[in-house]
Structure 1
Amino acid sequence: MTRLSLTFGCGSLTLVGTLDTAPASTGLLIVSGGNEIRSGAFGGQAEMAARIARAGFPVFRFDRRGIGDSEGENRGFRHSAKDIAAALDAFRAMVPQLSRVIAFGNCDAASALMLAGGAGCDGLVLSNPWTIEPGEGAGADNTPPPSALRARYRDKLGNPREVLRLLSGGVNLAKLGRGVIHALRPPPPPSSLAQEMAAGLGGFSGPVRILLATADRTAQVFAAGWDPTDPRISRCEGAGHAYVEPQHRDWLEAQILASLRA
């Protein structure tokens, strides 16, 4: 495996990417979420790229316009389709043996891929898609959606230690009451962003995996507004947004490798 830093064009602007070389004809395009640079939080995406490349698959990461080393204005994930398309073209040009490209995105990177209808990729791995619009529905505060609260209370009632806390007065009853009231509310309607994402993904014909970290509020809000019977959904129990625990990181990478090998 060799790691190469390089530049490519997006219109008149120059973007910067990193390629981890490998011999397979299927490659992984990593799309960064938020305002994160291509190395990822604490270098997590760079480390993942190295492990995927050691498994035999080339990996390309990039900074979109206005982020990290790339030129231009940062206009957010809603306006990143051109960046993703330019990165995909550059990846294919740099790795001529590629016949398939699977894109991976976490949080609003997953949302960007959905809004772009896959952005020309052959398959998608979408993790914890961001569906929260400012001031809209479940995104208006930090309270988990009713379905997540109900699941939390079911877990607590099944834990003898938590039941003992309740019976011994170790639980704030006022807070518990507010939580129960919220848990009994009907699910909020899907946000306008979620509806746009569903429409974009509906036009994509390639294989899709939707990965949800169950301890992550972003994933909880997504699940509350998405079809719960969608067979493309897989859940990582207890995982947080970035899958930082070793067992959660291994689960995530196993999901990505399964898509690359399919």
Structure 2
Amino acid sequence: MNFEERALALQCNDSWMYGILSLPERTASRGVLIVVGGPQYRVGSHRQFTLLARHLASLGIPVLRFDYRGMGDSEGASRTFEDLEDDLHCAIEHFFEEVPALSNLVIWGLCDAASAALFHAHRDRRITGLVLLNPWVRTDQGAAKAYLKHYYLARILDPEFWGKVWSGRFNYANATQSLVKTIEKALPGRKITATRDKAGDRSCDFASLPERMLDALSRYKGKILLITSGDDLTAQEFLELVKSSREWQRRLAAPSVSRLNLPEANHTFSRRVWRDEVAVGTSDWIQSW
């Protein structure tokens, strides 16, 4: 199907954000908002966001990809994924204004953009789907556990590692120091508990990132496609979190959740075959309901 690409200027508070709308000739009622993870902009690593938007638009699915404030070409101070509430709201409002045929949309996010999407989704009933790729649930302890289990094991099995050992090029002091620090971070520490404010939301001052994401997941009633990479520590940290939590397992076992794992893919799906798998998996899922 033919489609056009149109540059948009989106006002958000006192700043302008800039994006690209991929608009098909005959537009479906469900669109896709691509949210970037930092630090990158609306094209995406290896042009993934551009290629994904064009793939979806060729199937009749309108797509808006944009730079939130402080990122790419957009104005404003830089911000983290936890401070994108206004940016997402403004982008969604402009999306519906530009494409009157829309009745609902899917937010697609990689890494911390997936986390931002999950935080926002339950606040807007028009968001009926989320595509979450390698969600960011980073804690010092979680990262250390994933590093110990996946990085160090891979190193032990790597011939290059043993080549350094046998040739005398291996730095035992630095390696031992690094290992000890990682083990210390992985050890259980004081449990951080969450509190709720008067509106019922968990306090960001006391809840850890995984706790707040689980809370957001419990509030969201739409569909989810979870995509994970096999060769990525961010994905492995997320999957280890899920394995350690019955509540996470229960939420992700719901009929509304679909999962796609690419065993050999890295964090940003740098090979064409991986990007194509993600694009086809995304479009097939969107058109299945």
Determine if contact 1:111/1:197 at 8 Å carries over to the other structure: yes
Secondary structure, aligned partner of 2:215: helix
In 2, distance between residues paired with 1:201 and 1:9?
29
Q: CA deviation at 1:257?
A: 0.7
Determine if contact 1:102/1:259 at 8 Å carries over to the other structure: no
Runs of 4+ in structure 1 off by over 6 angstroms are: 185-191
TM-score by length of 1: 0.81
In 2, distance between residues paired with 1:151 and 1:235?
21
Q: Which residue of the partner structure matches residue 129 of structure 1? A: 135
Structure 1, unpaired ranges of 5+: 157-161
**Larger deviation, residues 212-221 vs 43-52:** 43-52
> Relative to 1, partners in 2 of residues 1:254 and 1:150: Cα closer, same or farther, differing over 3 Å?
farther
In 1, distance between residues paired with 2:122 and 2:22?
22
Alignment partner for residue 212 of structure 2, among 181, 196, 199?
A: 196
Task: Report the count of equivalent residues.
Answer: 244
Q: Which residue of the partner structure matches residue 159 of structure 1? A: none
Alignment partner for residue 210 of structure 1, among 204, 226, 243?
A: 226
- After TM superposition, list the pairs within 5 Å mapping 1:30-109 onto structure 2: 30-109=34-113
Determine if contact 2:137/2:238 at 8 Å carries over to the other structure: yes
Deviation sequence 1:72-126 (CA, Å, 0-9, x none): 1112111012111111111111011112201100000001112224552211000
Determine if contact 1:13/1:72 at 8 Å carries over to the other structure: yes
Q: CA deviation at 1:193?
A: 0.8
- After TM superposition, list the pairs within 5 Å mapping 1:16-31 onto structure 2: 16-22=18-24, 23-31=27-35
Whichever residue aligns with residue 266 of structure 2, its letter is G
Query: Quick check: 1:7 aligned with 2:9?
Result: yes
Q: CA RMSD in A?
A: 3.1
In 1, distance between residues paired with 2:31 and 2:262?
24
Deviation sequence 1:163-195 (CA, Å, 0-9, x none): xx7xxx7695988xx79x97xx88998991111
In 2, distance between residues paired with 1:3 and 1:259?
23
> Relative to 1, partners in 2 of residues 1:171 and 1:14: Cα closer, same or farther, differing over 3 Å?
closer
TM-score by length of 2: 0.74
Whichever residue aligns with residue 125 of structure 1, its letter is V
> Relative to 1, partners in 2 of residues 1:226 and 1:20: Cα closer, same or farther, differing over 3 Å?
same
Determine if contact 1:81/1:113 at 8 Å carries over to the other structure: no
Q: CA deviation at 1:255?
A: 2.1
In 1, distance between residues paired with 2:39 and 2:164?
39
In 1, distance between residues paired with 2:4 and 2:97?
17
Query: Quick check: 1:244 aligned with 2:270?
Result: yes
Secondary structure, aligned partner of 1:30: strand
In 1, distance between residues paired with 2:153 and 2:95?
42
In 2, distance between residues paired with 1:240 and 1:151?
17
Percent same amino acid at aligned positions? Answer: 28
Q: CA deviation at 1:4?
A: 0.2
> Relative to 1, partners in 2 of residues 1:27 and 1:117: Cα closer, same or farther, differing over 3 Å?
closer
